[in-house]
Structure 1
């Protein structure tokens, strides 16, 4: 018979049967489901064959009372090689320590390179990275993903327009693009200030130019507020001059906003109970190494992080996966009509403030119309705002 597939991995032994017609013993073994291959007869009462390591106990059981003598002449396969290796403890300990040191050194940051930005911004980025824990000597598995670091840097360093973060081996590479503020009109260029929206002038402060409106005047979009032409009302054209009109023109403006707020809603809360599991991932296969079983949670929130296991500069296909499973609950809640109205007003004001910017000041709000449809409160609001409505407009030298 041919050797069975995978016999070296599972282990096999060569057995020598001694007795009258030893081949009959092998036939008896086959009837009990034992696979035998490479059978050789060395004499009238001597026969040799190979069996799987797992069948040794059954062979010994079958031999009892038969009168045959069974000898194990050769042991082969992975289990026996491993056993012999484990007996050499100094060698085994040395290899394990060496492997541990190599893996450890391959999974810490040795260098952080920052390119594409001036020195002052590079120092700010380096300072922020230290706060994130990204520095030489940091354990890679303890860091956020490059994508998370990239988003956080753009948020914390306002001078950055864009930054790319990449990890190659034990080195972190960051390439940044500095934010360049482009002014629509160069400073000092002759210009007027015109209204960028309708409103009623509340405050007027002109540092350069001639004011063409007064407090309490109603203006429409495009109306001239401050002229950059000095002396245009004089008789002599030679006395005219052009300046870059500048000033702060604050006006009361108004907006109509619609918002809808449900009377019934669900909120999600994390209870604080959680379990952390670790896996070794190769492709789509995950081998659990810590945290077995599933938590008895009805609803869960999962947060997964992956880190590639590295060996020197070689990136292995093995990834260490950390999976945090947190218990969460959903709670059904009801709002009164008054609560829904107040939430709608606050939401409308917050959205409008975000649109207009921090310099605008919301003054008053008035409900023009309210209704309840399909369990939702619908509001139509009239909101007044105090804001700067001045907008620069270039002057032609011939004006």
Structure 2
């Protein structure tokens, strides 16, 4: 079928309006004599519209007389008619040919250079090295040697571990991978482990330092959990003489050792989340249907090459891609190719019902909490509560409460700890 229609376009075809009382006989006789009719549609009680190749119009006259019918040509399409119209517009044809030749010539040069993958190196540094081997805007693509450009970039920029050069149309993409040097050194500066959030202590495991909290204590953000200051009591010399009667022993003396505290402090932390959902709501979604419209814009005039002039859908989204010719010696060429994509949207009204709306609201409340939970946290308890505002509403509101057990300790150097506000531990 596609080949037949393509052949019909090359040979030329017309649209006919056939009028008569024996239209079925007209169509059957045409088919029996090998005349191909397509896009047959009834436009009235005694009228049909058909398409037929131009070479079959003359034989149809005999069939029309035999069936007491008549027809008229309402549309002419195909390559022969296109050529006929273009003969009357020689300047337009010449302009189109000149435009295509110019487009082909300009597409044989590099106009855009893009650098990707660089983090520390700048685009200018890489483009400067590439320019030394001929990669500049306006360079002919047939003079480029991608392998030579890649090798030159690697040799002259030691920080580049790998380079790739890809020519795509009038754009050249330089993709690089930088060398990553590991220069991290362990930080041995003394530090505390402090609480980054409030919670109820569940477990304390000290690897280095001195524990400042116990299980069952409540802490606030900034409370010291494991101290980096270890105090050791100085024991009295056993050879000293016993104290006289009635004299109190001296206060114990301590020596402090400063270390970088290490350990794990797990606590019970509480979170709240809120979610709501209307009993009925309007939802927009994409249907998957799309139509493209391609046109050439010359100055203020647009010539549609293919597709509709506007959106064929009632509700839609548009995505427009505009490609323009680059400047030639600072002269802007006012020619653009616009590709507009129309995507159909379907607007539906969904009735969730009370149970469905409650389920959605609960999921939203829990999702809000999940965004707050740190990695590795374990949920110990979860509770959902419907909020009753006392008013008649078409919205279900839900609040979620989650108790999680998680690591709340974070290392802070002594200097950083002093600069921040410190909260005291709160005992239960």
TM-score (norm 2): 0.51
SS in structure 2 at match of 1:189: coil
1:137 alignment partner, one of 167, 174, 177: 167
Over 3 Å counting, the alpha-carbon distance change for 1:96 and 1:342 in structure 2 is closer
Over 3 Å counting, the alpha-carbon distance change for 1:337 and 1:249 in structure 2 is farther
Over 3 Å counting, the alpha-carbon distance change for 1:213 and 1:233 in structure 2 is farther
Q: Note if contact 1:192-1:224 (Cα within 8 Å) is conserved in structure 2.
A: yes
1:380 alignment partner, one of 383, 399, 403: 399
* CA distance in structure 2 between the aligned counterparts of 1:105 and 1:214, rounded to whole angstroms: 75
- Could you tell me which runs of 5 or more consecutive residues in structure 2 were left unpaired when the two chains were aligned: 1-85, 122-156, 178-183, 236-251, 419-428
CA offset at residue 279 of structure 1? Answer: 2.3
* CA distance in structure 1 between the aligned counterparts of 2:323 and 2:299, rounded to whole angstroms: 13
- For residues 225-236 of structure 1, what are the structure 2 equivalents within 5 Å? 225-232=225-232
Tell me the equivalent position of 2:10.
Answer: none
1:336 alignment partner, one of 353, 356, 375: 353
Q: Note if contact 1:281-1:318 (Cα within 8 Å) is conserved in structure 2.
A: yes
- For residues 1-399 of structure 1, what are the structure 2 equivalents within 5 Å? 98-106=101-109, 111-113=113-115, 117=120, 136-139=166-169, 170=171, 187-232=187-232, 239-281=255-297, 286-294=302-310, 296-310=312-326, 316-371=333-388, 373-395=392-414
Over 3 Å counting, the alpha-carbon distance change for 1:222 and 1:234 in structure 2 is farther
* CA distance in structure 2 between the aligned counterparts of 1:343 and 1:334, rounded to whole angstroms: 12
Considering fraction of residues, name the structure with more strand: 1
SS in structure 1 at match of 2:333: strand
Bigger mean CA deviation after superposition, 310-319 or 267-276: 310-319
SS in structure 2 at match of 1:347: helix
CA offset at residue 120 of structure 1? Answer: 10
Over 3 Å counting, the alpha-carbon distance change for 1:286 and 1:220 in structure 2 is same
* CA distance in structure 2 between the aligned counterparts of 1:122 and 1:265, rounded to whole angstroms: 54
Can you list the C-alpha shifts for 1:297-335, whole angstroms capped at 9, x where unaligned?
Answer: 222221222222236676534332211112221111122
SS in structure 1 at match of 2:207: strand
CA offset at residue 253 of structure 1? Answer: 0.6
* CA root-mean-square deviation: 4.5
Q: Note if contact 2:206-2:263 (Cα within 8 Å) is conserved in structure 1.
A: yes
Can you list the C-alpha shifts for 1:258-305, whole angstroms capped at 9, x where unaligned?
Answer: 332222122223222211111234677644222134454222221222
Q: Note if contact 1:271-1:327 (Cα within 8 Å) is conserved in structure 2.
A: yes
SS in structure 2 at match of 1:187: coil
Q: Note if contact 2:276-2:398 (Cα within 8 Å) is conserved in structure 1.
A: yes
* CA distance in structure 1 between the aligned counterparts of 2:309 and 2:365, rounded to whole angstroms: 47
Over 3 Å counting, the alpha-carbon distance change for 1:331 and 1:100 in structure 2 is same
Tell me the matched-pair count. Answer: 271
Can you list the C-alpha shifts for 1:236-263, whole angstroms capped at 9, x where unaligned?
Answer: 8675311111222221111233332222
TM-score (norm 1): 0.55
